[in-house]
Amino acid sequence: MIHSTLKYVGLFVILFFSLFPVYWIISFSVRETSELLKYPPSFFPETITFEAFVTLFKFIDMTGYIWNTLLVSLAAAAITIIVSTMGGYALARRQFRGRDAVGLMMLSSQMIPTILLVVPLSLIMQFLGLLDSHIGLVFALVGITIPVGTWMMKGFIETVPFELEEAAVLDGCEAWEVPVRVVLPLIMPGIVTVGMYTFILAWGEFVFSLTLLRSEEMRTLPSALAVNFGRTSVDYEVLMPMAVTYMAPALLIMSLFQRQLTRSIAEGALKG
């Protein structure tokens, strides 16, 4: 009984410290201006208003920032899904020299801190003429997501019995038709998982977007959040609703697909 009580108390403490910052940002985004600098602050807003959101979209190009972020995230997710599915199938079904080494390098690449890649990637993008472009940012993002996505897809593909592919060949399927018609429909949960993982990571990517995107019209939400409100002062009346807008898609995806995402990642990783 005591052990169970302590366990639930510990879970409550962890949950409180995890969710309280989210609540505080949302709470401050719907308060009146007079409440924002009030000390001590009240736990609940005295008056709920959405004027801050109106001001945000009126004086700041939030539509452009959202569109840029959505464009980069969807492009990164699409490229990662295509390349990871093909790479995962090759690692799961094909025997070739250096296959284990390729898998090891993919996993080892995740040990490299992102900040160490900023300068080399900036120089490469400048040489290729892709600095301050969404294409360059997408290339930088998929360099991180494809190794993880490929390893995850390898695990999902290995859950498909190879006998199904052999039976398809005996029934007259061409070699290129087997992965498309037999394997692909069975690994749709894995494809969705890789897509959600990539989208969330690309939506919240800060370091690359801040360093690779220089002009205001190219900026995504994370870098715009830092640049617009970190120079001389902080306007909480606009900062908080902007932070809520930035967090909303990731929170929505995680709330709707948390169990599927967690289960799929675990199954793919364990099998892989």
Q: What is the pLDDT of residues 227-262, one digit of tens each?
A: 766 555 566 677 788 888 888 877 777 777 666 666
Is residue 165 within 8 Å of 178, Cβ to Cβ?
yes
Residue 235: predicted pLDDT: 66
For 160-167, what is the mean pLDDT?
Answer: 80
Buried b (16+ CB within 10 A) or exposed e, 166-196: eebeeeebeeeebbeebbeeebebbbebbbb
pLDDT per position as a tens digit, 174-189: 777 778 888 888 888 8
Asked whether the predicted pLDDT for residue 76 surpasses 90, the reply is yes
For 9-24, what is the mean pLDDT?
Answer: 84
Asked whether the predicted pLDDT for residue 136 surpasses 60, the reply is yes
- Rounded CA-CA distance 56/48 in Å is 16
Higher pLDDT, 67 or 233: 67
Which range is least confidently modeled, 83-87, 110-114, 232-236?
Answer: 232-236
Asked whether the predicted pLDDT for residue 24 surpasses 60, the reply is yes
pLDDT mean across residues, the chain: 82
Asked whether the predicted pLDDT for residue 272 surpasses 50, the reply is no
pTM of the model: 0.82
Task: Read off the pLDDT band of 1 (50, 70, 90).
Answer: low
For 195-204, what is the mean pLDDT?
Answer: 89
- Rounded CA-CA distance 202/71 in Å is 10
Which range is least confidently modeled, 60-64, 99-103, 207-211?
Answer: 99-103
Contacts 24+ apart (CB under 8 A), 183-188: 183/89, 183/157, 184/85, 186/160, 187/85, 187/153, 187/156, 187/157, 187/159, 187/160
For 71-88, what is the mean pLDDT?
Answer: 93
Asked whether the predicted pLDDT for residue 111 surpasses 70, the reply is yes
Residue 83: predicted pLDDT: 94
